[in-house]
Chain A
């Protein structure tokens, strides 16, 4: 896998995990 596609994959995973973590945080905050 090239360095470019490797970086793209890790960036995508980072963005997705950040988005879900923020979403979970909002859900938990609303639930509290």
Chain B
């Protein structure tokens, strides 16, 4: 009988955890959709939309901070440091959002460079530090070099796309002697670094931790989109708080919060083995998304580059440098893959598919 009751308890807890995750994701999606709709149509006027926007952003950042603190407090393993550092980063973002709201709502104008920027910029190295200590990025493995190349290629591809579409034209127009423009441009580059680390971590994850990191990746990608658009609109002096674009930052904070929300129940009970070690032991368990996702930005950037050159638009010097680095990274990655395949074939490895992970 004790066995039956313990099994029943595990099943109930598992179902409850699953439902809590679904509910959290559903709530975040609904909140983003409602706020985006409100900011797009502004039924109560522009002032009310600005208030809703600024307050909702602060609340989303605060919720993310509290969830990261809660998850960090529940951990007993090395991943606790990751959550504490991420909590510090979201705390910096919260402080920055509060400062932004005070400037925007109480003072009526947000300076080009303000105390809010100090918080935003401080959050980037804190998040990078958090990802650096994540168990998924520690240790070794046979495909470690390829994972590193994948991450670098993805970051370079995003940088190339961002430069071609947004930053390059902006760079030509902006006066870099102005600190505000330089600060606005710093955000997309910082986001690129963060996305690089998360892609590296997602590549290494298997099992339940994958959902948590995927949500973090989604949040940081939303932030990258928002920051790139902000950099562009600041450059052409058209950014105005209270527009639909602001929902990208709310989605970013909710994504980070959801990452903590989904991690808490599955890792809080007991220490878990390092995901990297498990992935190295069973690379075939690597999820399909982890295999396919790195190709998406790579292919997009390669196609854009080819089309651009074919149409006679030669990339400028930074764009050309990013393009060449991208092509070299992709070809090096494929060469390493071929080498691994040949080594595994000669060893007559029955698990040949591991080479593709």
Seen from chain A, the residues whose Cβ lies within 8 Å of a Cβ on chain B are 1, 3, 6-7, 9-11, 13-14, 16-18, 20-25, 27-28, 31
Contact = CB atoms under 8 A, between A and B. Distances in A.
A31 B309 contact: yes
26 contacts: A1-B288, A3-B353, A6-B288, A6-B353, A7-B353, A9-B288, A10-B291, A13-B292, A14-B334, A14-B337, A17-B330, A18-B330, A20-B299, A20-B303, A20-B306, A21-B326, A21-B327, A21-B330, A21-B331, A22-B331, A23-B306, A24-B305, A24-B327, A25-B331, A28-B323, A28-B324
B299 A13 contact: yes
B356 A11 contact: yes
Given A13-B295, A16-B299, A21-B330, 4 more contacts: A6-B353, A9-B292, A13-B299, A18-B334
B310 interface: yes
A24 B323 contact: yes
A6 B330 contact: no
Contacts, number: 63
Contacts of B327: 21, 24-25, 28
Contacts of B331: 18, 21-22, 25
Interface string B324-347: 101100110010010000000000
Interface string B283-314: 01000100110010011001101100110001
Interface residues of B, number: 25
A1 B284 CA distance: 13
Contacts of B284: 3
Contacts of B298: 17
Contacts of B299: 13, 16-17, 20
A21 B299 CA distance: 9
B320 interface: yes
Contacts of A11: 356
Contacts of A25: 327, 331
A17 B320 contact: no
Contacts of B288: 1, 6, 9
Nearest to B312: A31
A28 B314 CA distance: 9
A14 B326 CA distance: 15
Contacts of B306: 20, 23-24, 27
Contacts of A7: 353, 356
A10 B356 CA distance: 7
Contacts of A17: 295, 298-299, 302, 330, 334
A6 B291 contact: yes
A11 B299 CA distance: 14
Contacts of B353: 3, 6-7
